[in-house]
Amino acid sequence: MTTLPAHVPAGPRVIVALDFPGADAALEMARRLDPTRCRVKVGKELFTSGGPLLVARLRALGYEVFVDLKFHDIPNTVAAACRAAASDGAWMIDVHAGGGRRMMAAAREAIESCPDRPLLVGVTVLTSMEAADLAEIGVPGTPEEQVLRLARLARDSGLDGVVCSPREAALLRAECGEGFVLVTPGVRPASASVDDQVRIATPARAIAEGAHYLVVGRPITQAADPCAALEAINAEVAGR
Ligand code: C5P
């Protein structure tokens, strides 16, 4: 079993991506699920429509909330945005590691003294990008090389961890150590539809490769029985 660093709260490993257009549908799904069995993620679409009030309502239901806004701007702006997200009561927040060392360090410093400071993770290479996409924006080499480069930079800039594909988890676990939090989307139970994800792994495989937390959206939220789908994943990763 992967050992969680002392500052990482124990609890559910699955983070359910609440990718709904508005607060009502997201809250309806949150009421069906159980905050002792999963955490939840609010992304750009839902946060833009539901805002901090939605985060507060999810917290009132008992959920720890990953506010996934992938900040990428000048250091001062990102630092202020991270401070605001922390004051909304986020459990986890993220920035683009491509924003560089000074931006990430400023983000970390901005939330350092927050009570119950959120975990701060860096987005490495989006799982939608391939080598050709990287070449087009002037990044040579493979996605894996760039993920490793950005993960090292995130670690050296004081971040708690990174978001990566399950396929890169083992590489980063070996490079960055047990204490570096790895959050992996692109998780699909063997029986689930792949949807538009490309670089995927099963929940058991992702945990075995070293992921701390699994972000899972449609296999749970679009299932006929979302609770049963969540429990199947929890059972698959239990004890790992
Ligand atoms: O429905 P699905 O399980 O594919 O949802 C995955 C979630 O993880 C979505 O909210 C998506 O935005 C997010 N995500 C991702 N790949 C990344 C970062 C985040 O799929 N590299």
Establish how many alpha carbons lie within 13 A of residue 36's alpha carbon, considering only the half-sphere containing its beta carbon. Answer: 0
Domain 14-237 CATH (choose: 3.40.50.150, 3.20.20.70, 3.30.390.10, 3.40.50.460): 3.20.20.70
pLDDT of residue 6: 55
| Three-class DSSP category at 161 | strand
* CB of 17 sitting under 6 A from ligand 1: yes
Q: Which of 35, 41, 39 is nearest to 18 (CA)?
A: 41
* CB of 218 sitting under 6 A from ligand 1: yes
* CB of 127 sitting under 6 A from ligand 1: yes
The residue annotated as part of the active site, out of 70, 72, 101, 152, is: 70
Residues ≥6 apart with Cβ < 8 Å to 237? 13, 14, 203, 204, 207, 214
* CB of 195 sitting under 6 A from ligand 1: yes
Q: Name which residue sits closest to atom 13 of ligand 1, judged by CA.
A: 185
Residue 124 token pair: 């490495």
* CB of 122 sitting under 6 A from ligand 1: no
**Which residue out of 14, 15, 19, 46 has the highest number of ligand 1 atoms within 8 Å of its CB and is therefore the one to mutate?**
19
Instruction: Classify residue 100 as left (phi > 0), alpha (psi -120 to 50) or beta.
Output: left
Would residue 44 show up in a list of annotated catalytic residues for this protein?
Answer: no
What sign does the CA torsion over 63, 69, 74, 77 have?
negative
How does pLDDT run along the chain (240 residues), one tens digit per residue? 455 555 555 789 999 999 999 999 999 999 999 999 999 999 999 999 999 999 999 999 999 999 999 999 999 999 999 999 999 999 999 999 999 999 999 999 999 999 889 999 999 998 888 899 999 999 999 999 999 999 999 999 999 999 999 989 999 999 999 899 999 998 888 888 887 777 788 999 999 999 999 999 999 999 999 999 999 999 999 876
Tokens 């937390």 belong to which residue? 213
Question: What gap in Å lies between CA 208 and CA 30, rounded to an integer?
Answer: 28
Which of ligand 1's atoms lies nearest the C-alpha of 41? Answer: 10
pLDDT of residue 3: 58
Residue 236 token pair: 């698959």
Look up the pTM and report it. Answer: 0.94
Residues ≥6 apart with Cβ < 8 Å to 35? 61, 62, 63, 64
pLDDT of residue 208: 92
Distance 235 CA to ligand 1 centre (A): 21
DSSP labels, 22-46: SHHHHHHHHHHS-TTT-EEEE-HHH
* CB of 118 sitting under 6 A from ligand 1: no
pLDDT of residue 5: 59
Distance 185 CA to ligand 1 centre (A): 5
Q: 10 Å Cβ neighbour count for 81?
A: 18
Which of ligand 1's atoms lies nearest the C-alpha of 165? Answer: 21
Which of ligand 1's atoms lies nearest the C-alpha of 195? Answer: 4
* CB of 163 sitting under 6 A from ligand 1: yes
pLDDT of residue 199: 72
Mode of pairing for the β-strands spanning 161-163 and 181-184: parallel
pLDDT of residue 142: 92
Residues ≥6 apart with Cβ < 8 Å to 187? 166, 200, 201, 202, 203, 206, 214, 215, 216, 219, 233
